[in-house]
Amino acid sequence: MKLSLALGLALGMALVLALGAYFGFAEIAGGLRNAGWGMLAVVAFHPLQLIFSALAWQALLPTRPVPGLIVFMRLRWIREGVNNLLAQVGGELVAARLLRHGGVPVAAGAASVTVDLTMEFLTQIIFTLIGLALLVPGLTEPGIVPWAFAAVALGSAAVVSLIAAQRFGLFQLIERRLVKLAERGPAWSSLSQIAGLHQAIVGLYAAPTKLGRAFAYHLISWLLGGIEVMLALHFVGVSVDFREALIIESLGQAFRAAGFAIPGALGVQEAGFIIVCGLFGISPQAAIELSLLKRIREVALGIPALITWQVIETRRLVTATGTQASLQAAADGD
């Protein structure tokens, strides 16, 4: 484990434990016990968001034929499992790799993952702006507004810069270096398959219909998160309407994004929900319970996703080994 990752994990765990100790482990545990079977409802709701996230990714694949929605749902599920439980952005690399094993060219698959992730970031910013727009009219403490909009402006500038870098040569440089590396020998030869990545990305940004569909599907997925918040808070004994739930989810997710340097945004997500829920008079204990219900959902769906990923990789390895052995046997027979 890298030192930075270990330090981030330690910091996150310390923050979670500090918040739990300050606001009462017993009270928080009691709230989760009261949720009971409601935890399953929170877990069962997430696949609906998964469908729209998968549709967004599917819309961006630049080659034909396009794998079916079930394939993209499975890959999105694995992608989220890796990101939530192992590494913040590792899921995208795993997803591109698995897409290649499904017959999609490396450049096309990598381009779809890259632009899909960018659209997801962009729609999160829009989602945050929606939450702020709903919050400001009834806000009694306007001092938070300039800071919130400054954070959104910073995030927007980052996304715009990312899109500009993608369109005007960032991945062309990466592509050239990888292709050149592939020329060093057989051990690196597979890297040559990345050729065409830059052109595939530019092609996607020149396809407004594809981008529009991906944008819409991702935004729907974010908005559905408001219903998840309503469900989770209901099961811990707190009632909120859809407007309040959207505000809590949009700003809570913004806090989580800000804690990207800490694995799973441990502690940052919990602190964010405490701050946002406090605007509606929701107790810190209930806010932490909301965050923990989301984490329980991530673990409940993430562990099977990681197991599925390993099964796929193992089967591929066994198949490749068997094929190689058959070819070797045929060669020996000749």
> pLDDT tens digits for 241-272?
999 999 999 999 988 888 777 777 888 889 99
pLDDT-based confidence at residue 37 (cuts at 50, 70, 90): confident
* Residue 159 pLDDT > 70: yes
Q: List b or e across 153-182, with b for residues whose CB sees 16 or more CB atoms inside 10 angstroms.
A: eebbeebeebbeebeeebbeeebeebbeeb
Interatomic CA distance for residues 310 and 127, integer angstroms: 34
Average pLDDT in the 26-48 region?
Answer: 88
- Structure-model confidence comparison of residues 285 and 147, the more confident one: 285
Closest by CA to 300, choosing from 120, 31, 80, is 80
211's CB contacts (< 8 A; 6+ apart) are 60, 115, 119, 204, 205
Report residue 300 CA to chain centroid gap.
16
R_g of the chain computed on alpha carbons? 22
Interatomic CA distance for residues 23 and 15, integer angstroms: 12
Q: What confidence tens digit (pLDDT) does each residue in 223-239 have?
A: 999 999 999 999 999 99
What's the pLDDT score for residue 78? 95
Domain residue limits, the chain: 3-317
Tokens 């702020």 correspond to what residue?
132
Closest by CA to 86, choosing from 315, 298, 312, is 298
pLDDT-based confidence at residue 297 (cuts at 50, 70, 90): very high
User: Which H or E run includes 114?
Assistant: helix 106-135
CA distances from 314 to 112, 160, 207, 311 (A): 25, 39, 37, 5
Interatomic CA distance for residues 83 and 81, integer angstroms: 6
Residue 279 structure tokens: 């605007």
Q: What confidence tens digit (pLDDT) does each residue in 82-139 have?
A: 988 886 667 888 888 888 887 888 888 888 988 999 999 989 989 998 988 888 776 6
Q: Model-level pTM?
A: 0.86
